[in-house]
Amino acid sequence: MLEIDALVIRVASLRTKSLTLLSGSDSEPLSNTRHSEAITLEAHELDTALEAWSQTLPKDWKFLTSIAPSGHPETNYFYNSIVHEYTTYGHAAVWNRYRAIRIIVNSIRIRSLSDQLQALEYPSQRSFVAIQQDACQENIQSLVNDLCGGVPFFFNILDPTGGVAASRSIRLGTYTFRTDDEIFPKMAGLIAWPLTVAISTEYVPESQRQWLKGRLKAVAKSLGDAVLESVVEQGEFRF
């Protein structure tokens, strides 16, 4: 896990460098363009490294994807009826962290490409940049879909007798989600940051953003965290 930790540090550094893009700082145009180009290149390299990390994981890191049957009563707890199952909560937490930092990287790259687009004169150049932006947007869409699929794994379920299920295997025909105490504080702490990132980052599709806000609201309630509640209601952070 040292490799992913090192990549997280690099992402934090990239975000710091990109803050001038986020603030819309008005400095010398040529300097701005060069800065945007450097940010774009670094973001591309980081995203490539992150994707490579995810593809070299051992077998026990892989996750299964299930789809709830149409009309199933628990589908409100899933986005597009999709849910993942992981080996452990620790594996699931790392996967969601990975998705969140890649969402940040791709958002930064789109923003830096947008700055470059304003300085380009020729249609062929603008088209090439637009293609890169579309690829980043597709990455974000895929990552957010997977994040939505990975979140329900942390929420509580009941067995048919009303007791908390001993197994974390998700069998939609057997278990139902709890209507109160949806998530225990320990589990809520594992997904609070990825959820905060997802609802606070540019270019995340609005339908997913709203669904994830609902999940973060349950997390904030479980933790008794007023700051997270404020993020849901007022959107105080921006990545």
pTM assigned to the model: 0.85
Residue 53: the pLDDT is 93
For residue 164, is pLDDT > 50? Answer: no
SS (H, E, C) the chain: CHHHHHHHHHHHHHHHHCHHHHHCCCCCHHHHHHHHHHHHHHHHHHHHHHHHHHHCCCHHHCCEEEECCCCCCCHHHCECCEEEECCCHHHHHHHHHHHHHHHHHHHHHHHHHHHHHHHCCCHHHHHHHHHHHHHHHHHHHHHHHHHHHHCHHHCCEECCCCCECCCCCCCCCCCEECCCCCCCHHHHHHHHHHHHHHHHCCCCCHHHHHHHHHHHHHHHHHHCCHHHHHHHHHCCCCC
Tell me the domain boundaries of the chain. 2-234
Q: What is the mean pLDDT of residues 52-57?
A: 92
More confident residue, 158 or 201: 201
Q: Residue 171: pLDDT above 50?
A: no
Most confident residue range from 18-22, 124-128, 170-174, 194-198: 194-198
Task: Tell me what pLDDT residue 186 has.
Answer: 92
